[in-house]
Chain A
Amino acid sequence: MSDAIAQAPGARTRENYWRTNAAKRRVRRRYAADRRLQYYGLGSIGLAIVLLGILFSSLIFSGYVAFFTTKIGLTIYLDPNVIDKANPGAANYRKMARNAFFTYFPEVTSPMERRQLGKSLSSGAPYVVRNYVIAHPEEIGDLVDIKVPLSDPFDQLSKGVIPREIDALSGDRVALFNVLKRRGVLHVENDKAYVKADVYINPGDVPEGDVEAADYQRMVDEAFRTFYMRAHSRAYEEILSQDVASAVKARVLADPALVGKTIQVNLPLSKHYDNLARTGEAKVLNPRFSSEKDLQWFDSLKKRGLLTTHFTWELFFNADSRFPELAGLSGALTGSFLALLVCFLLSFPIGIATAVYLEEFAPKTRWTDFIEVNINNLAAVPSVVFGLLGLAVFLNVFGLPRSVPLVGGMVLALMTLPTIIVATRAALKAVPPSIREGGYGVGASKHQVMLHHVLPLALPGILTGTIIGLAQALGETAPLLLIGMNAFIPSIENMGLLQPAMALPTQIFSWADSPERGFVSRTSAAILILLSFLIIMNAIAVYLRQRVERKW
């Protein structure tokens, strides 16, 4: 009814206007648009959470094993004749550790076997013993129990990260083999698998009727190839055993009349394919172990309860090492700390001074506008560019040493500065003008208003920006790589502002590059540690932000 009125010209009074179908449709559309906007937001938040969840769970899944290490207890006699009390670091701890280990296997005596057995122990074990003795010199002459790590493959085996055996045949090979299976030419007889093939005893391959010298391999190959007319490679050839030819040869020798005829022969399979045909799988020893004996020794240690699992404190307290079971982050943490310290000491005062000047004192001229725009642009410059700048200026022009935290911190400060300046200016702008007026009103001078009223109120915002800038700097890799802050530092004793160092992200970078299995989980663990530092720093920033909001 309202339709009719609405359509009649001139009848659109105020009341019925809101009741027309068009108006109702508009309302419905508006509601739908509101809802859609909400769903988009929910959708993107959901997506972000899912992706974050995947990232974290995969990191935790692959990294948690690095937080545990398998160790073996050794009983070592700290012989005072061998260890010089005055200089306990110099003794041959390698021999001591190995001999203690060998007592678990008295039956292993040959030097060859002992060398193999010794590889079960981490190459870092002697250092563990050495450090123990240096820390406890009063125990020289005693019998002590020291737990030392196993070498990486055994550690990983114990934690179930790597298997004892792996598949001998790749997926491609299995696919080739399955061609035979589908044709139904496989059969098993007396625990051995064969391929039934029709072999044509080609007279052309029997030189002058001499069945002894005939090329039976060729005949078999020809016959076998019929199964693989379309194969691109000749990989299928390895399916057959080496001595297929002799089976045919025996037949023909027994009956020379077969030359020129086609006979059915059972061709034996080579080892892995034979296993595959009979049992459905073909396994070989994991190549990380040198022989089955390794595994027997390992099982024996395990059965005797000599292996224990420990939390990997080494991850935090050891420096880098070539051996993943000993590699730790203390060097990287120290390096990152020193670099961040330099970065903070440079960027915090300079950033605040710049921001205060620009915000409070600078006249509005084209120059200050220009500077302002460029500071905002600097915040968006890729970090690798700052790294190149550091390389060109700090290293090449100023001649500062490579790889040192001082230069790292200076480069990071370049990156952090714009963030701090922008955050500080925002924080200064957010201080209500009434506070400034109050200050001026009682006769405070400009710097008094600034120092006594504006900066204290802006400080939480400034600190938030600074922490976020520092957190960015903590995770920054590229500029540090450029100035070489990825040195290999096996000990933190000599670390300093002017000594080569590495940082957390560069440590992760170099571990991720290492082939040892143990470094894979170490990498994930290091990323987890880096992320937890970032989360802690951001939590502090959030806390500070809430404090500033509570104030007004």
Chain B
Amino acid sequence: MNDQSKAFTMEMDKSGSVASDTVMNPHKVTSRKVSVFYGLKQALFDIDLDIPDRAVMALIGPSGCGKSTFLRCLNRMNDTIPDCRVTGEIKVDGRDVHDPDLDVVELRGRVGMVFQKPNPFPKSIFENIAYGPRIHGLARSKSDLEEIVISSLEKAGLLSEVKDRIHEPGTGLSGGQQQRLCIARAIAVNPELILMDEPCSALDPIATAKVEELIDELKKNYCIVIVTHSMQQAARVSQRTAFFHLGILVEEGSTADIFTNPTDKRTQDYITGRFG
């Protein structure tokens, strides 16, 4: 084991009883034999993965292995890509997301998403956050809406920074603030599951730390799935980790196990930096 993975192990030890409390929680998402095809090209092969509630699940793996693709299956974002086909069964809260009776808009309301690149709408900060609650009819009155906006900003740890410019354009914020604005936007619709696709890849270490703190805070109430290329990050924020390779789910387990004691050779190679 090299120095890098030793460092992970030490971090793991400090955070204490990580593995034990995840086991308690029921599974929020269960997927069985999920395969995804882009046209004729198969991007995911028979993925079976269960994601616990009120915890953070990290998806890691080399570039192009299908992490984003899997993430996008969970709120059916792949529907927006022409000629993308998903097979298999994905259940969120025991309900199949491909059930014809299930409204995809409602699903996306329940499963929020934060993207790799911060993508606030070119509108005011207030409008950015108010948009979701408004289209879902979550606010009964104007003051309701204001309350939602303020509490979302608060939860995203952004309120103190933008208090007095809440009606200025969201695109005027710094990259890290924009990303937290996107997180606030996602939690404003009161989702049960938040998907984050490399949320910190465009951020500096300080902004990253803030987002990570936020994730730590959010996991008390939400189920979070995060894709990351930083193994330190995965180690820091997640309780469970899944390793993908070439469209295959190689290994899944508690974060401490995956980083200290991987069963598969490929996992070990990846986390020790031998490829990826």
Q: A441-B112, A442-B185, A443-B106 are known contacts. Are A434 and B135 too (CB-CB below 8 A)?
A: no
Residues of A within 8 A of B131 (CB): 442, 444, 452
Q: Is the interface of A mostly helix, strand, loop or mixed?
A: helix
Is there contact, CB below 8 Å, between B122 and A551?
A: yes
Q: In the complex, are the beta carbons of A434 and B119 less than 8 A apart?
A: yes
Are A436 and B80 in touch, CB under 8 angstroms?
yes
In chain A, residues 436-479, which have Cβ atoms closer than 8 Å to a Cβ of chain B?
436-445, 448, 452-453, 457
Verify if B16 is at the interface (C-beta below 8 Å from A). Answer: no
Nearest to B117 among chain A residues (CB) is A434
Q: Within the complex, which residue of A437, A438, A444 is in contact with B105, where a contact is CB–CB below 8 Å?
A: A444
Q: Determine if A435 is an interface residue (Cβ-Cβ < 8 Å).
A: yes
Contacts of A434 in B (CB 8 A): 115, 117, 119
Q: How far is the CA of A437 from the CA of B119 in the complex (A)?
A: 8
Is the C-beta of B200 less than 8 angstroms from some C-beta in chain A?
A: no
Taken together as a complex, chains A and B put the C-alpha atoms of A439 and B107 apart, in Å, by 14
Interchain nearest-CB distance for A325 vs B (Å) = 55
A497 CB, nearest partner CB in chain B, Å: 39
Q: Which residues of B contact A437 (CB under 8 A)?
A: 77, 80, 113, 115, 119
A136 sits at the interface (CB 8 A): no
Give, as a whole number of angstroms, the nearest-CB distance from A478 to chain B: 41
Whether B171 sits at the interface, judged by CB under 8 Å, is: yes
A-chain residues with CB within 8 Å of residue B80 when the two chains form the complex: 436-437, 440
Q: Is A14 an interface residue (CB 8 A)?
A: no
Residues of B within 8 A of A398 (CB): none
In the docked arrangement, what's the CA distance between A435 and B135, Å?
16
Does the CB pair B135–A443 fall under 8 Å? Answer: yes
Q: How far is the CB of B138 from chain A (nearest CB, A)?
A: 11
Contact B135 A364 (CB under 8 A): no
Q: Which residues of the other chain, B, contact A435 by a CB distance below 8 angstroms? A: 119, 121-122
**Residues B77 and A441 in contact, CB atoms below 8 Å apart:** yes
Contact between B112 and A442 (Cβ–Cβ < 8 Å)? yes
Question: Which residues of chain A have C-beta atoms less than 8 A from B189's C-beta?
Answer: 442-443
Contact size range, B: 20 to 34
A438/B115 contact (C-beta < 8 A), A443-B105, A443-B106, A552-B122 known: yes
Give the most central of B75, B105, B185: most A CB within 10 Å: B105
Given contacts A364-B82, A437-B77, A442-B186, contact A448 B108 (CB under 8 A): no
> Are B120 and A438 in contact (CB-based, < 8 A)?
yes
B58 located at the interface, meaning its Cβ lies under 8 Å from any Cβ of chain A in the complex: no
CB distance from B180 to the nearest CB of A (A): 14
- Nearest B residue to A436 via CB reads B80
Determine if B132 is an interface residue (Cβ-Cβ < 8 Å): yes
CA–CA, A432 to B115, complex, Å?
Answer: 13
Q: Is B249 an interface residue (CB 8 A)?
A: no
B113 with A441: CB separation less than 8 A: yes
**Chain A residues bordering chain B, tally (CB within 8 A):** 20
Q: How far is the CB of B27 from chain A (nearest CB, A)?
A: 23
Residues of A within 8 A of B107 (CB): 443
Q: A-facing mask of B100-130, CB < 8 A → 1, else 0? A: 0000011111001111010111100000000
The residue on B at minimum CB distance from A445 is B105
CB of B182 closer than 8 Å to a CB of A: yes
**Cα separation A100 to B105 with both chains bound (whole Å):** 83
CB distance from A303 to the nearest CB of B (A): 70
Q: Which residues of A contact B106 (CB under 8 A)?
A: 443
B69 CB to nearest chain A CB (Å): 14
Q: Contacts A442-B112, A443-B136: A552 and B77 contacting too (C-beta < 8 A)? A: no
Complex CA gap A325/B77 in Å reads: 70
Asked whether B113 lies within 8 Å of A444 as measured between CB atoms, the reply is no
Using known A-B contacts A364-B82, A438-B182, A448-B135, determine if residue A443 contacts B120 with beta carbons closer than 8 Å: no
Interface bits A362-388 vs B (CB < 8 Å: 1, else 0): 001000000000000000000000000
Minimum distance in angstroms from B179 CB to a CB of chain A: 12
User: Contact between A440 and B121 (Cβ–Cβ < 8 Å)?
Assistant: no
In the assembled complex, which residues on chain A have CB atoms less than 8 Å from the CB atom of B115? 434, 437-438, 441
In Å, the complex CA distance between A469 and B119 comes to 33
Q: Name the residue of chain A whose CB is nearest to the CB of B195.
A: A441
Docked complex Cα distance between A435 and B117 (Å): 11
**B:131-183 near A, CB below 8 Å:** 131-132, 135-136, 171, 182
Q: Which of A440, A448, A452 contacts B77, CB < 8 Å?
A: A440
CA distance A508 to B117 in the complex (A): 56
B132 neighbours in A (Cβ, 8 Å): 442-444
Between A436, A438, A453, A552, the greatest number of chain B beta carbons within 10 A of the residue's beta carbon is seen for: A438
Question: Cα distance A439–B189 when bound, in Å?
Answer: 12
One digit per residue, 1 when the CB lies within 8 angstroms of any chain B CB and 0 when it does not, for chain A 413-447 equals: 00000000000000000001011111111111100
Chain B residues near A552: list those with CB within 8 A. Answer: 122, 171
Shortest Cβ gap from A372 to chain B (Å):
15
* Chain A: minimal CB distance from B102 (Å): 13
Residues of B with C-beta under 8 A to A444: 105, 131-132, 135
Q: Are B109 and A438 in contact (CB under 8 A)?
A: no
Residues on A with beta carbons closer than 8 Å to the beta carbon of B120: 438
Given A448-B135, A452-B131, A552-B171, the answer on whether A442 and B119 have CB atoms closer than 8 Å is no
Please state if B82 and A442 are interface contacts (CB–CB under 8 Å): no
Complex alpha-carbon distance, A363 and B119, angstroms:
27
- Measured between beta carbons, the chain B residues less than 8 angstroms from A443 are 105-109, 132, 135-136, 189
Chain A, residues 323-343, CB within 8 Å of chain B (1/0): the string is 000000000000000000000
Docked Cα-Cα span, A448 to B113, in Å, equals: 17
Distance A441 CA – B113 CA, assembled complex (angstroms): 5
A444 to B107, CA, bound (A): 11
CA distance in complex: A441, B109 (Å): 8
Measured between beta carbons, the chain A residues less than 8 angstroms from B108 are 440-443
In the assembled complex, the CB of A72 is this many whole angstroms from the nearest CB of chain B, namely 62
Interchain nearest-CB distance for B38 vs A (Å)? 14
Question: Nearest residue in A to B122 (C-beta to C-beta)?
Answer: A551
A438 to B120 CA separation, bound complex (whole angstroms): 7
Apart from A438-B119, A442-B189, list 13 A-B contacts with CB within 8 A: A432-B119, A435-B122, A436-B80, A437-B113, A437-B119, A441-B112, A441-B113, A441-B114, A442-B112, A442-B186, A442-B188, A443-B107, A552-B122
Partner-B contacts on A (CB < 8 A): 364, 432, 434-445, 448, 452-453, 457, 551-552
Q: Which 3 A-B pairs have the closest CB atoms?
A: A434-B119, A443-B109, A442-B132
19 contacts between A and B (CB under 8 A): A432-B119, A434-B119, A435-B122, A436-B80, A437-B115, A438-B182, A438-B185, A439-B121, A441-B113, A441-B186, A442-B108, A442-B135, A442-B185, A443-B135, A443-B189, A444-B131, A444-B135, A445-B105, A452-B135
